[in-house]
Amino acid sequence: MNFDPIGIMVSWLVAAGLYMVSEMRQQMPVDMVSQIPVVLVFLPVTALLIALLIPIQLIFGVEKSRVVVSGVCGAIGVSVIAFAKLVKTNVLSAFSFLNHMNGWILAGITVVVTVLLILLSYAISVRIMEKKEF
């Protein structure tokens, strides 16, 4: 089982580049040093998405796993919107506490959660491979 660190890094660089371009398009001065924690958060998120994809690919195969991952992302989006409707608040205001957190603390929490979820993904993938018949 390989999490492809080069693919993760390339995906992260693309996401970080797109983020920086979007920040610059707002025509406000961009302080690169203050953006480092934000850009570092993209790396564990990218690794998390790849960790989600691997067990799903092992179960459903390459083609069907793309549909399943799209469905999972759609279900997460619908769940967030439904949650916002239930509590009758703006989705962004529900997560406004993240704006007040120190960026380094947020990045650290994200890394720890991602490592735990990657380990869970690994355990699930190993169990799937043990049950497969070749």
Output the pLDDT for position 77.
85
Task: List, for residues 9-28, the tens digit of each pLDDT value.
Answer: 787 788 888 887 887 787 76
The span from the CA of 61 to the CA of 63, in Å, is 6
Residue 131 near residue 124 (C-beta atoms within 8 A): no
Boundaries of every domain in the chain = 5-131
Task: List, for residues 44-65, the tens digit of each pLDDT value.
Answer: 777 888 888 888 888 888 889 8
Of the two residues 48 and 79, the one the predictor is more confident about is: 79
| % of the chain with per-residue pLDDT over 70 | 85
Output the pLDDT for position 3.
57
Output the pLDDT for position 90.
66
Output the pLDDT for position 107.
72
For residue 98, with 0-12 CB atoms within 10 Å meaning exposed, 13-18 middle and 19 or more buried, which class applies? exposed
Does residue 2 register a pLDDT over 70?
A: no
Output the pLDDT for position 127.
93
Report the candidate in 96, 47, 55 with the shortest Cα–Cα distance to residue 72. 55
